[in-house]
Amino acid sequence: MSDPASDFAHMWEWFATHCHGYSPLYERISAAVASDPELLAGLQAVPPSGQLPPALLAAVHYLVLGEPAQPLADVYSGRSDADPGPLFLELCRARREEIMDILATRHIQTNDCGRSAVIGPAITWLAAAIDAPFALVDVGASAGLNLLCDRYRIDYGSHGTTGPADSPVAIDCRVAAGQPPIATHLPPFVARVGIDRAPIDLTDPDDARWLLACVWPDTGRLERTAASIQLARQDLPRVVAGDANATLPGVLSALPSDVVVIVVTTWAFAYFSTQDRQEFLELLDRASHRRVIAWLSAEGAGTVEALTALAPPADDAGQSDLLGAVVFEGGERRAQLLGLVQEHGAWIDWRAGPSATPTAPR
């Protein structure tokens, strides 16, 4: 049998490696947590979802956001270059009970607006193949910020921009390779709805603060997330509370019969059990006898079986995540790998053509 403390330490060491080159702050903190047996032992008492590194990082960030005088707040904001590791561990020791309560009651909500940068080209790719009105359904929607993907200004550098020029939300996405289809505007949506087990209520200051707490402080995402929250409050997206597979059939059946439904999962399908993943696919199969269903997924390599065989070799993809489309029509499925992407929309490596290939329906 493995030693739980050792397993926890390895998990935090892996997470530190995962942060390398993207979040030096969380890389340093994760390395510090990995070397603190007392803290790791305490984490074994919280629910499994609270044991993951992003959960503890978010819980501490939640406290920091509420107390700007905290020494760690100066580090998070970039006002101080003090070593964050000892400060993080000190706060964990001093506020242990509060942190454990957060870990027991809150769930990671990382579906921030930056993911719209990888969703946008995928929707544009679909629009080139399917001449029909679209409805957008986001599974694992959190606060529903990516349901507003057409209302953000997304800059792909020399490849173009998408969205209103006067949008208060500006997202930069580097095109690492390929020619992603960048449209000046995304196609209109007849309807948009999200599904989440524990939706974030943006009208609740504590919920909004938790959403911000799940953002990594030194990645340039805090400001745009705050701006997207303000934008969403002007016209709150509809997010239905419930289990994905139990709720999705009702959501689909309530949509107009003449629309193509784009079902989106961004780093949410990975949390489905093997059985739930199969049920999800069967659900979309059944629904496709009434209408075309296009499933757009951005997930870790190996998560979506239909895309795994289409993925580049591991040494080519590295630690990249896969963006892909699986189109369901009349009970048949057609899959297309669209590209490699970064989980917060920082970059995209487009692997499909600029418009849909013959594998997608026309």
Residue 358 lies in a domain: no
Residues 194 and 89 in one domain: no
Residues 31 and 85: their CA atoms lie apart, in Å, by: 8
Residues 100 and 246 in one domain: no
End-to-end CA distance of the chain: 53
pLDDT at position 319 is: 57
pLDDT at position 314 is: 60
Tell which of 89, 105, 121 closes a domain.
105
Q: Which residues contact 48 (CB under 8 A, 6 or more apart)?
A: none
Beta strand spans in 207-292 (E)? 239-241, 260-266
pLDDT, tens only, 27-54: 999 999 999 999 999 999 999 889 999 9
Residues 262 and 207 in one domain: yes
Closest CA to 216 of 43, 30, 39, 4: 30
pLDDT, tens only, 157-177: 999 999 999 999 999 999 999
Q: Is 257 helix (H, G, I), strand (E, B) or coil?
A: coil
Residues 303 and 203 in one domain: yes
* Rama region for 119: left / alpha / beta (φ>0; ψ in -120 to 50; rest): alpha
Residues 239 and 334 in one domain: yes
Residues 244 and 161 in one domain: yes
Domain containing 23: what range?
4-105
Under-50 pLDDT residues of the chain: 1, 317, 357-362
Residues 212 and 22: their CA atoms lie apart, in Å, by: 18
Residues 91 and 297: their CA atoms lie apart, in Å, by: 37
Residues 157, 175 contacting (CB under 8 angstroms) = yes
Residues 348 and 181: their CA atoms lie apart, in Å, by: 11
Closest CA to 60 of 50, 38, 225, 14: 50
Residues 206 and 232 in one domain: yes
Residues 62 and 65: their CA atoms lie apart, in Å, by: 5
- The H or E element spanning position 202 is none
User: Number of folded domains in the chain?
Assistant: 2
pLDDT at position 3 is: 67
pLDDT at position 248 is: 98
Tell which of 73, 105, 137 closes a domain.
105
Cα dihedral: 73, 76, 78, 81 (round 10)? 90
Residue 357 lies in a domain: no
Residue 25 lies in a domain: yes
Residues 91 and 118 in one domain: no
- What does pTM read for this prediction? 0.90
β-partners of residue 67 are none
Residues 199 and 336 in one domain: yes
Tell which of 81, 105, 129 closes a domain.
105
Residues 97 and 155 in one domain: no
Residues 82 and 117 in one domain: no
Residue 153 lies in a domain: yes
pLDDT at position 1 is: 46
Residue 360 lies in a domain: no
pLDDT at position 112 is: 85
Residue 355 lies in a domain: no
> Which of 329-347 are b and which e, b meaning 16 or more Cβ less than 10 Å from the residue's Cβ?
beeeebbbbbbbbbbbbbb
Closest CA to 115 of 228, 237, 209, 201: 228
CB count, 10 Å around CB of 272?
19
Residue 206 lies in a domain: yes
Residue 155 lies in a domain: yes
Residues 152 and 276 in one domain: yes
